[in-house]
Amino acid sequence: MTLTQPGPVATLSADEARRIALRAQGLLGAPDRRGGVRGVLRHLGAVQLDTISVLARSHELVPYARLGPVGREAVDTAYWGGRTTFEYWSHAACILPVEEWPLFAFRRRAFLARGHRWHRLEDAARSCAEVLARLHAEGPLTSTELGGAKKGGEWWDWSETKIAVEWLLDTGQVVCTERRSWKRVYDLAERAVPVRLLDTDPDDASCLRQLLHQSGTALGVATAKDLADYHRLKGHQVTAALPDSGLVPVRVQGWGRSGEPAAAWADPDALAEEPRGRHRTTLLSPFDSLIWDRARTERIFGLAHRLEAYTPKEKRQHGYFAMPLLSGGRLLGRIDPAREGRTLVARQVSLDSPKALEPLARALTEAAAWVGCDSVRVERLHDEALRPALDKLLS
């Protein structure tokens, strides 16, 4: 890689930064299949969970985007088998490698200091003691098995048991070890977390330094705001921890206002060699960590992407669960997928260029086979003049 040196800080072009980011996320170069799904998780540091399932659930789409059509059962086994992971609050509700358990001690302490999250209990000590006793006696349980998640109203109208077990999760006495029929399974931390990790209690500064280093490794090159967003850290925490995080300051051309260079931080290993290799062609979940941060996505790829699942249907521009099409290291358009029996349906397709037709057909065909579909149908194409060429590619 050619870096100019205006003093002690390296300067990257916007294109260099884009390729570094892609490689850091496992989307440039040959995928490391030896580590499989667990290897992807360990490198990314967090994979977001979400209830929406269209093509597949988001946590399945993340390793698929990097490794190709890995078996979906193998994905679940890798995430939830062998006590190698836990679920906690990172970028959002995320699957995390169990090795990161000590790093979230700062967040568990913050919850304890605050004394509550969303709900308060009149007799919290009693409710929490009852939950802990049940888990101790009966082993891992869902909130339903513990006595019910809701009082009977809306989803946020939690029962006392649900409030108690979620508080115990927040503060680290209880761990979510897996999801069963999409319900959290809770267990005692003393059973779920290896002793060597359970007994490790780093101070807040150490937690933040290590989380920033992990975020920088996963992002490759990032602004301070990008780094804060990865595990949802606060700005002042990032400012204090960055100098000792192991990341190095750089400047990236085109990342500032009006296209000026901007201050950023990089993983020094990412600067050591030119990011080369084959680009992955795939559909990305809107919750993929490559595009988590909307401002970063627009800065790097020039794509202003928004999840429209919660936008009224008549106001959507690209569809309910529009998935960006990644090919050649660029985001070339959006596809809103659905499944009808054994047909993968692209309800809406928006492409930046006719050159994206071949990558689109390839991505749709591979995704269809992965989820058990044997045909593809495109309902709405942004430019219907392209349909004959697309139909030929899909035939």
285 and 324 part of one domain: no
Q: How many domains does the chain have?
A: 2
pLDDT number for residue 118: 75
Residue 170 lies in a domain: no
Residue 333 lies in a domain: yes
Residue 101 lies in a domain: yes
Beta-strand pair 248-252/10-12: parallel
- Distance (Å, whole) CA 118 – CA 355: 49
Residue 121 lies in a domain: no
pLDDT number for residue 119: 76
219 and 296 part of one domain: yes
- Which of 234, 269, 301 delimits the end of a domain? 301
20 and 107 part of one domain: yes
Residue 44 lies in a domain: yes
pLDDT number for residue 30: 78
Bridge partner residues of 376 (DSSP): 344
pLDDT number for residue 122: 75
200 and 296 part of one domain: yes
Beta-strand pair 183-188/141-142: antiparallel
pLDDT number for residue 153: 56
Q: Which runs of consecutive H residues, i.e. helices, occur in the chain? A: 14-24, 36-44, 58-67, 72-80, 105-114, 124-138, 143-146, 160-170, 189-192, 195-198, 204-219, 224-230, 235-241, 294-301, 357-370, 387-394
Give the three-state DSSP class for 176.
strand
205 and 286 part of one domain: yes
Domain that holds residue 325: 315-394
Residues 84, 87, 93, 97, Cα dihedral to 10°: -30
Cβ neighbors of 64 (< 8 A, separation 6 or more) are: 56, 70, 75, 282, 370
250 and 389 part of one domain: no
Question: If you write DSSP's letter for every residue of 363-386 in order, what string do you get?
Answer: HHHHHHHHTT--EEEE--BSSGGG
235 and 371 part of one domain: no
284 and 338 part of one domain: no
Q: Is 91:47 a contact under the CB 8 Å cutoff?
A: no
253 and 360 part of one domain: no
pLDDT number for residue 135: 97
Angle between helices 72-80 and 58-67 (to 10 degrees): 110
262 and 321 part of one domain: no
274 and 230 part of one domain: yes
Residue 165 lies in a domain: no
99 and 227 part of one domain: yes
Q: Is 188:132 a contact under the CB 8 Å cutoff?
A: yes
- Which of 301, 331, 361 delimits the end of a domain? 301
pLDDT number for residue 9: 78
Q: How far is CA 329 from CA 93, 97, 122, 160, 208, in A?
A: 28, 27, 54, 49, 31
Chunked into runs of 10 residues, the chain (395 residues) has average pLDDT values of: 52 96 94 86 96 92 94 89 92 97 97 84 85 96 85 66 92 94 94 95 97 98 98 96 96 90 95 90 97 95 89 90 96 96 96 95 97 96 94 94
